[in-house]
Structures are given as C-alpha cells and as structure tokens.
Chains A and B, each alone.
Chain A
Amino acid sequence: MIDTSRMEAPLLEVRGIHKAYRSGGGMLEVLRGVDFECPPSGFVAVIGQSGSGKSTLLHLMGLLDSPDGGEVLLGGERIDNLPASRRDRLRNTDIGMVFQAYHLLPELNALENVLAPLLVRHGVGAWFRHRKEARRRAEELLCRFGLSARLHHKPRQLSGGEMQRVAIARALVARPRLLLADEPTGNLDEASGAGILDALCELNRDDGLSIVLVTHDQSIARRADRIVRLVSGRVEGL
C-alpha cells in the first residue's frame, strides 16, 4: 500500500478543508480551509478552544464525515471521495480512533470490544480461521496496557482509565497506520490521563505509530512533536 518513493511524503495530509453546519437560519462555517499534515511516525497535537472545530476535523480525517471542500490524503492518495465501501475498509484497516467518551460496546466484554474491528473485518468463515491469532493479539495488547485481569469484564465494570485503555487497544488491534485520538484524557483524572498519554507516547516512539491527538490542554499538547492550533476555522502555526 505504501509507495516507497513517497516514503518521505506525509502519511496524512489535509488540504484546504472546509466544513460548514447548517444551524438555525444561516450556515456555521466551522472549518475554513484547514491545511495540515502528519509525517509517518509523527505525533501531532491539535489544540484550540472549545467549539473551534477540532473534533470536526478529526472526524473528517477519520472518514466519519465528508468535507464541503478540500481533500484528505492518506499515504499520498486522496481518500475523502472514495466510495463508501472503500472508506469503510480504510476505517477498519488503516485508521484507529479513540474518543473522549471511550465508546465501548456495552454488550461486549473488554476482550470482545478489542476484537470488534477484526469481527467487523471478517465474515463468519474468515473469523473462525483468524480467531486464534486475533485473540492472541488482543490479549497481548490488553496485557500491555495492564488489563490482563480485566479481559472478561463488561465496560460498565471498568473504571474510566481502564475503559480508555481498552479503547486504545481496540484502535490498535487492526494494526492501523494512523491513530486519531479525540481528547482521550478529557474524562479522566490527572494520574489516569498521564498513564494514557504515556502509553500513546510509547506507541509513537517504540512502534512508530503516527498519532494525531486532539486536546485543549497545552500541557498535554507539549508531549507531541508538533502542535497545530485551530483558530476561527484556520490553522495558526506556532
């Protein structure tokens, strides 16, 4: 998938993104030509005030929404205008997402939640062929985040920090190239938040995972290689 000649090119690139929401009578322009890129194995923090459009930008990069203008490129290829099935596939294989509210599936236990992307990817037959391997990978990830004793707990039996670690494990289980995190520490106390952040930094450093982290917390943003600030719908360089 990755073109070696373009290895130096940014992994993720956002060019002139526009996004507006219809609100009341008029249009609310949230993003007005955002340009932004993340190199391979890069760690970029996006900061900005509440309502500045950080989450919106992240959703656009994660293909959960489509921009009104501009383009999103992954590995040099435009991905925002792909057909729905290809975008579903990319979300599943190349992009991992972590949210502020964890977003675990309440009916599944920790292990199953981590396995969810693989369950989504495989049909019934393929799943039974890959089951062992997938389970091993998921257990490994959970152990790595210190959750080896929580494999069969349902989300509501877990603490916030544990849930967020499960969510990160889930985002990583499919070995994505890019991790998008939307205020992963926003709901956590300082200690748990620091733990999560350490885990992300470690992933970036040791595994070479590219991370785009959205936060409004300057101190967290400083852990990143680069900081991008969103102000009134545009990127303000630092």
Chain B
Amino acid sequence: MYTLLLCWRYLRTRWIALASVISVTLGVATMIVVNAVMAGFAHEMQSRIHGILSDLVFESHSLSGFQDPDWHMEEIRRAAGDDVEGMTPTVAVPAMLNFHVRGQWVTRQVMLIGIDEKTHAAVSDFGRYLQHPDNRSQLSFDLREGGYDTIDSQTKGETQVATRPALEGAGWPHRRMRVERERLWRERQAQERGTEQAGGGSGDGGSQSSGADSSGPVRPVDHQVDAVLAATNNAPAPEEALAPTAEAHPPTAPVDPFKAAKPEEGRTMDMAKEQFTGIVPGIGLASFRDASGVDRFLVLPGDDVKITFPTAATPPKAVTDTFTIVDFYESKMSEYDSNFVFVPIGQLERMRGMIDPQTGVGSVNSIQIRLRPGADLDAVRDRLRSAFPPDMYAVSSWKDKQGPLLSAVDMEMAVLNILLFMIVAVAGFGILAIFFMIVVEKTRDIGILKSLGASSAGIAGIFLGYGLFLGLLGAGAGLALGLGITWNINRIRVLVEWCTGERVFDPSIYYFFRIPTIVDPATIAWIIAGAVGIAVAASVLPALRAARLHPVEALRHD
C-alpha cells in the first residue's frame, strides 16, 4: 500500500518529473500523427492503385497480344477455380491524344486502353472514378444528356471541395451549344468574306479571324489566347472559368477537328445529334488544377478529340481517328489520371486490325482478373503462372505492378517510426536521469522505509510504479494530443496556412482536398506500449539502486 501512496505523493510533490515526460508526450503524439497520416496516404494510394488495377493481370509479352480471350478466360477459370470472381479482357496500346484548345493543338502521350464496358467495372473500381452517376453504375460510351457531377463524388460531402461548374453543362448540351456556335461563326465568317470581297479587299489581310482559319497557330490567335488566359487567371469565381474558354471557342473552332473525319459512310454527320466513338480520358489529361484548387477544364464531355495509335500490323502503322469524350476518369493517382484513355475494346480491336478476318476472333493484350474476397492473391497468381507457358504470358498481381512504390512507402514509414521512437528513447534517458536524482534525494526516506520493514522489492516498486505512472501519463497525454491533431489535421492545416500564408498541403500536387488519415488502434497500442515500456525501463535502474541501498547508510545520508 505504501508503494502506491508514496508513488502518488512523489508524483504530486515533484511536478518537475513531468517535464521529463513532456518529451514522451510529444514523441507519442508525433508518432501517432505521422503514422495516421502516412497510413492515410498509403491506404489512399493502395486503394487507388488497386482500384485501377485488378487483383491479377494476365498479359502477353508482345504488344500485339494474344488471340481469343474467351478461350484464355476459360483456361484461367479452370486453373484458378472458384477464386475468380470476374474477368475482363483489355487492349492497351500507347497513343497520342490531340485536342484543340484555344487555337492550339494540345498533344499528349497516353496509354489507350480498350475495355469492355459491360464487365470492366466488375474487376476493379474503375466505375467509381467516373464523373457521371449513371456511368458509375454502368459505363456507357454514349454521350450523356448532362448530369455530370459538379462536386467530386469521391470527397464524401467534404465542404472544402472546390466545385466544378464547368461540368454543369457537359454532355449533349455542351456539344449542341458548341456546334451552334461554330455554325454561327462560320456564317459570320462567310459574311465577312462576302463584304471584304465586295469592298475589293483581298482575303489575305491577315485579320485575326482569318488567321484562326489555318490549322497552325499564328500570332493573332496567340494574342487572343494570352488574353483569354489572362482573363481566366484573373477571374477568381469558378463560374467564370468556363466562360472565357467557351468564348474562345468560336474563333478557334474553324480548325475543325472533325471536318476531316467525316463518318466513313460518306453521309454528313449531324454533329449536334451524333457522336464519334466514346472515350473516357483521365481527368488530368483534360484539366489542370490551379493554385486555388479549382479544376480548369480544357475539354469537356461532348468535345471531340483525335487519337493516333499504332495498328497491330508489322511493322505498325499509325492511324488517327476521332473520338468523343463521354466522361472523365479520376482515380486521383495523377500518374494514371494523366495517362489513361479508355475506349470500347471492340472498336479499338477493329481499328487496330486485331480481329482475325477469317475467324472473327479478336486478340487482346491482357485479361484483368478479380478474385473473390479473401482469396490468396499470391497463391492464385502462382497457380496461373504454372498453368500457362511463362515465355508467352506474364501473370502479376497489382502489388507486383506497384511493388517498388508500395515498398518505398513501407520503407519510409519504417524509417520514420524508428527515428521517432528514438525521440521517445531519448526521453527515456531524461526519465532515467531525473529518477536517479529523485532516488538520491530520497535516500534517507528509503532507509526509513527499510527500518519500518519495507522490502527491497517494495522500494523498487515505488520507483517502477512511479515510472509506469509517468509513462502512462505521458503516453496518455501524447495519445490525446496525437488524436486531437490527427482528427483536426485539416483544420490545423487551414490555420497554419492562414497564419503563414504558405500552402502546406497543395491539392494540385496531391490531388486530395484534405489530408487523409487512418488511425490504426494496433499501431497506437504499439506506440503507447513502447512509450510506457521505455518509461518503465528507464526507471528500472534507479529502482534497483534504491532497492539495493543499505539501510544504515541510507539513514546516515543527509
């Protein structure tokens, strides 16, 4: 009983010992926050990577792929058994995406991925990343009649999300409006031509509007682009963001991206009612996020783009075709969002000539496989590897594909944890020193207690209990502080940004609007146990010293 009582009394009369515990508190708090944020990032990244990639990817080594995906899928199902929940074939090919914005052609290097819109969403979270609610439940490569999300559906009602008013009118309304504007502009153009000719002026006057007629960018248009960009940048209200873009369209639209790509049938397409083959480009290809976190769109669903890609022939030839954007894909992994363009697989196979003219059987590059929940990823992968000749096919899991990235994150977390634990260990030495001081100071009291019949173990218990108590206190305070910071980290970020005027967390870099955190109870338990363990370990030596004190010498001590 005296152990407890004295423990408590020493604690109450020696607040200075708490100072040594502050570093434990800070260490624990930091570890909790860092782990939560790192785990949040890692989880976010993993779920994104996994959301994009299916559990397993079965692919051929060659770009031209392998024939007859249905037969392969049968074989895979036979080899993997019940573990397979869904499969879908894909064709992936590097390509160039060209679109026309503000009088300039923008060309991007992309990965063109042919997917089966019926089954693709079943093997990955692909569907979740689309911007139209109906496409999220079932993707269609037909342009939708409006209804695209103006608030990012993945942010779960987060208030700080900048809206995307540009997507308000996307879809058929946007397309109709654009076609109408182009028509008006062409008419005016024709009129101007008429008046100019009537006035005896030649058409080579180098006027701004005629400059825009050529497909290459020329100075006058550049002026206009500069003006538009300036207007865009100066306009803080998101609603205005689109306006200049739309305004910029008419003068530049004559560089008609689809004029050359008339439907093969030879009849004139009614642009306001018809579309080309639908595509879903990554949102990063079509937009950029400005410094205030607002997404500026260069093209919208309803706009047409050109894509150049190699055929499957040897040697490959480049073919170009026109496509209509029907939705955007936003996985929040900028690597993917600015690289992937999804097209219907059948169309792509046909355009690339991947369908055998005799049998009508297509080839694909890969088969995406989703496993039933709880299936052993690596075991199934190994089974598939042994079932197919390894010189022709590669089977990899999503973890294999992103192995270096994931292990880099793990590594980073491990190193950070070691470093932070060092801080707590340093705090341990602080406790050790302070406890030694207290033991020296209390030497006589220890002698008194021994003269009253206290055992050595009991004396040691006082100091061990003291250490335990301080450790618990420090770790508890650290826990509270850490969780407090973790749960309010986004508010703190805003506060820090407001105080310093610096952006701590740039959404245009991270593609999140808030810092993701995951509080893992097991991690916290480890941290707390570690901190308390260190505090107790630091009090072991002083406690032993106290227990070993000779009673007579302790009594003589002054």
Q: Taking beta carbons and an 8 Å cutoff, which residues of A are in contact with B?
A: 59, 62, 64-65, 84-85, 88-93, 97, 99, 103-108, 112, 116-117, 119-124, 126-127, 170
Contacts and interface: CB of A to CB of B under 8 A. Distances in A.
- Interface core residue of B447, B448, B550 (most chain A CB under 10 Å): B448
Contacts of B4: 124
B448 A89 contact: no
B379 interface: no
B445 A119 contact: no
B452 A116 contact: yes
B1 A127 contact: yes
Nearest to B444: A103
A168 to B, nearest CB: 14
B552 A120 contact: no
Contacts of B519: none
B453 A117 contact: yes
Contacts of A90: 453
B452 A64 contact: no
B452 A91 contact: yes
B9 interface: yes
A105 B458 CA distance: 16
B448 A121 contact: no
Q: Looking at chain B, what size class is its interface with the partner chain? A: 20 to 34
B453 A84 contact: no
Interface string B135-176: 000000000000000000000000000000000000000000
A88 B451 CA distance: 8
Interface in B446-464: 447-456, 458
A119 B2 contact: yes
Contact of B552 (A59, A104, A112): A59
A107 B452 CA distance: 16
A91 B453 contact: yes
A-B complex: 7 closest residue pairs judged by Cβ atoms: A92-B453, A127-B1, A107-B9, A119-B2, A91-B453, A64-B551, A103-B448
B452 A120 contact: yes
Nearest to B457: A85
A59 B555 CA distance: 10
Interface string B1-28: 1101110011001000000000000000
Contacts of A127: 1
Nearest to A97: B451
A108 B550 CA distance: 23
24 contacts: A59-B551, A62-B451, A64-B551, A64-B552, A64-B555, A65-B550, A84-B455, A88-B453, A91-B452, A91-B453, A92-B453, A103-B444, A103-B447, A103-B451, A103-B555, A107-B10, A116-B452, A117-B453, A119-B5, A120-B1, A120-B452, A122-B1, A123-B1, A124-B1
Contacts of A106: 445
Interface string B421-457: 0000000000000000000000011011111111110
Contacts of A126: 1
Interface string B515-558: 00000000000000000000000000000000000111001000
A116 B453 CA distance: 10
Nearest to B8: A107
A192 to B, nearest CB: 21
Contact of A105 (B445, B450, B550): B445
B2 A116 contact: yes
B464 to A, nearest CB: 16
A88 B10 contact: no
Contact of A120 (B447, B449, B555): B449
Contacts of B455: 84-85, 88
B1 A119 contact: yes
Nearest to B456: A84
A123 B449 CA distance: 15
Given A64-B552, A103-B444, A120-B458, A93 B1 contact: no
Contacts of A108: 5, 9
Contacts of B5: 108, 112, 119
Contacts of A62: 451
B448 A91 contact: no
A119 to B, nearest CB: 4
A85 to B, nearest CB: 6
B13 A107 contact: yes
Given A64-B450, A64-B552, 15 more contacts: A62-B451, A64-B451, A64-B555, A84-B456, A88-B450, A90-B453, A92-B452, A97-B451, A103-B555, A105-B6, A105-B445, A108-B9, A116-B449, A116-B452, A170-B452
A84 B455 CA distance: 8
A97 B552 CA distance: 13
A53 to B, nearest CB: 13
A109 to B, nearest CB: 10
Contacts of A107: 6, 9-10, 13, 445
A117 B449 CA distance: 8
A65 B551 contact: yes
A152 to B, nearest CB: 14
A226 B250 CA distance: 125
Nearest to A96: B452
A105 B555 CA distance: 12
Contacts of A103: 444, 447-448, 451, 555
A90 B454 CA distance: 11
B195 to A, nearest CB: 104
B552 A89 contact: no
B2 A91 contact: no
A61 to B, nearest CB: 12
A62 B453 CA distance: 10
A1 B4 CA distance: 31
A217 B550 CA distance: 29
- Interface core residue of A62, A64, A121 (most chain B CB under 10 Å): A64
A62 B555 CA distance: 13
A85 B455 CA distance: 7
A65 B454 contact: no
Contacts of A117: 452-453
A88 B9 contact: no
- Interface core residue of A97, A99, A116, A117 (most chain B CB under 10 Å): A116
Contact of B451 (A91, A119, A123): A91
Given A64-B555, A65-B552, A84-B456, A120 B2 contact: yes
Interface string B109-137: 00000000000000000000000000000
A65 B445 CA distance: 17
Given A65-B552, A105-B448, A106-B445, A120 B6 contact: no
A122 B450 CA distance: 15
Contacts of A170: 452
B306 to A, nearest CB: 83
A99 B551 CA distance: 13
Interface in B479-509: none
